[in-house]
A and B are shown apart, each in its own frame.
Chain A
Amino acid sequence: MNNMISLIFITIGILFNLLGCIGIIRLPDTYNRLQAATKCVTLGCCSILFGVFFHFGISNAGIKALIAIPILFLGSTVAAHALIRGTYHFGIKLGEKSVKDDYKDAVQ
């Protein structure tokens, strides 16, 4: 039973990862790619780790998988934030479809 639940969680996670990777290929500029990829891949890997927790139960490995989830969340969100800020300062323009840019005044 536990194996079944863990397999379901891992499958959902890999579907989310797949969506993120399609996003990284299809979307037109860096900002949108980062946005789609970070959200999908982070939640996908958290789902996989949760499946691993279900497979091992409360034991050495299960607790480790559970600990990895908040570290992954905080790490990947802060990394994405630093990366998008770096991208803006590097001088990459927003995509062609953009409608608004309030950050330009703050940088100067």
Chain B
Amino acid sequence: MRYITVFILSLIFWLLLTFKLTVPNIIVGAVASLICSLIFTRFFISNVYKLLQPHRYFWFIIYLVVFIWECIKANLDVAYRVLHPAMPIRPGIVKVKTTLKSDLAKTLLANSITMTPGTITVDIIDDYLYIHWIYVRSEDPEVYTGLITGAFEKYIKRIIE
């Protein structure tokens, strides 16, 4: 079942990329997708039936809107820090605990954190994320955990788990 899912997804990707619905094109795409599905299925998510549940897509769209808004805020933040003559930076690496369990969810959370204002993920060890912060706003672990992961964790939990 996982093999078939990867095959269909890569065939759709091929058709979007070439944008031509002729028979030779589909045959070439099918062969390439077959090779891809044989090699790369072991990296795919284990429960493919999650792809068929519509409420996950609904939360994904809401997550996308929040994410783009945070991205724009991040850019304005960087612009403020770069153009300010005194450069108000106060960098540091902080340790944040996450409640997410699966690897895919942790990766998505780390990617989101990288694009939010002033933070970039350095490493993930077990349940802890190490985050380089350009302006450490507080020294208290509970406060900065809420500031960094609070915006995304609940959406990612609904999307993936």
Binding site for B on A (CB under 8 A): 16, 19-20, 22-23, 26-29, 31-32, 34-36, 38-40, 42-43, 59-60, 63-64, 67, 73-74, 77-78, 80-81, 84-85, 88, 94-95, 97-103, 106
| Contact flags B76-95 to A (C-beta < 8 A → 1, else 0) | 00110111000101111111
Chain A positions within 8 Å of B19 at CB level:
59-60, 63-64
Is there an interface contact between B16 and A19, defined as CB atoms closer than 8 Å? Answer: no
Specify which of A40, A42, A77, A101 is in contact with B93 (CB 8 Å cutoff). Answer: A101
- Check if B122 sits within 8 Å of A94, measured CB to CB: no
**Can you list 16 A-B pairs, Cβ within 8 angstroms, ordered by A?**
A23-B81, A26-B82, A43-B74, A43-B115, A60-B19, A63-B17, A74-B111, A84-B120, A85-B123, A98-B91, A102-B93, A103-B95, A103-B130, A106-B123, A106-B128, A106-B130
Which residue in chain B gives the minimum CB-CB distance to A102?
A: B95
| Residues of chain B contacted by A85 (CB below 8 angstroms) | 122-123
The majority secondary structure among interface residues of chain B is mixed
> Measured between alpha carbons, how far is A99 from B89 in the docked complex, in Å?
10
**Nearest Cβ in chain B — how far from A11, in angstroms?**
14
User: Could you list which residues of chain B lie within 8 angstroms of chain A, going by C-beta atoms?
Assistant: 13, 16-17, 19, 71-72, 74-75, 78-79, 81-83, 87, 89-95, 110-111, 114-115, 118, 120-123, 125, 128, 130, 132, 134, 136, 139
Given contacts A67-B16, A100-B92, contact A81 B75 (CB under 8 A): no
- Give the nearest-CB partner of B128 in chain A: A106
Contact across chains for B123 and A40 when beta carbons are under 8 A apart: no
